[in-house]
Amino acid sequence: MVDFEADKGGSLEKLCAEIDTCLNGPIQMSSSHLDYLRDEPSHDPDSSLGPCTGLKVKGIGKKSKDRWIAPPVGTLKLNVDGALFFDQQRAGVGALLRDEKGDVLLTACKKEMTVNNLLEIELLAILRGLQLCLHKGIPKLEIETDSLIMANTIPSKEAYSRSMIGNMIKGIQDLMKLFHQCSIQHVGSISNAGAQKLAKYAWHIDDISVWECSFPESIEFVIWVEKYCL
């Protein structure tokens, strides 16, 4: 299933607006929360109280259309994304696996050394995510990416060249066949915020970091919002 309306290009202001709509209540964000979303260090003396300090929610009502949506019962959802680090001449990939309750089962980020274009890094993010999930006995898996090109290309039965991109597409298709049921769909950047932050977090590591049933602090606020918007 592919969402042709959603696309990349979400901004901080749009993210805050979506959170506000999602929770259907007044949200007050201190400077620490805005820094948190920008991946910048906070100078708020109250920031030690955690990422939810200053967040006031009076009630959860109607839900935003552009948000993370939980998978059906019995299916797990894998969000993936990639990021290019031009200053390091490296790239990073992020993967986030959750269940129908929004509970995190696995998070991972990895630095890649030989990727130099956006298509390759988006494909590599999907490939790494599948590799991490393969041996966990997952019968049904939904993959979400904010790359519309890849979401349309991977399910295609068209034959591809033996270039790096062609080989990566073929590898992803082969891995997807190893699951009882596996699909891929396109989502907007806001719906993929957790994976985006994990991909950017790879800038700080040398190789790979994996968290089982946990996640790094850099995505804590995103996880909280998406889980309680269900």
CA–CA distance, 91 with 120 (Å, rounded to integer): 10
Q: pLDDT tens string for the chain (230 positions)?
A: 333 333 344 444 444 444 344 433 333 333 333 343 344 333 333 333 233 333 333 333 344 457 899 999 999 999 999 999 988 888 999 999 999 999 999 999 999 987 778 899 999 999 999 999 999 999 999 999 999 999 999 998 887 777 888 999 999 999 999 999 999 999 999 999 999 999 999 999 999 999 999 999 999 999 999 998 76
Which CA distances in Å does 226 have to 73, 136, 160, 206, 209? Answer: 17, 24, 37, 29, 22
Q: Is the pTM of this model over 0.95?
A: no
Q: Which residues contact 46 (CB under 8 A, 6 or more apart)?
A: 30, 32, 53, 54
Return the number of other C-beta atoms located less than 10 Å from residue 10's C-beta: 19
Half-sphere exposure in the Cβ direction for 89 (13 Å, CA): 1
CB atoms within 10 A of CB 106: 20
162: DSSP letter: S
User: How do the residues of the chain divide into helix, strand and coil, expressed in percent and rounded to 5?
Assistant: 40, 20, 40
Question: What is the pLDDT, as a whole number, of residue 4?
Answer: 30
Q: From CA 197, how far away is CA 37, in angstroms rounded? A: 9
Tell me, what amino acid is at 213?
C
Q: How many CB atoms lie within 10 A of CB 27?
A: 19
Q: What is the pLDDT at residue 54? A: 35
Domain ranges for the chain: 76-228
CATH topology of domain 76-228: Nucleotidyltransferase; domain 5 (3.30.420)
Q: What is the pLDDT at residue 230?
A: 67
CB-based contacts of 90, cutoff 8 Å, min separation 6: 111, 112, 113, 115
Q: What is the pLDDT of residue 56?
A: 34
Q: What is the pLDDT of residue 65?
A: 55
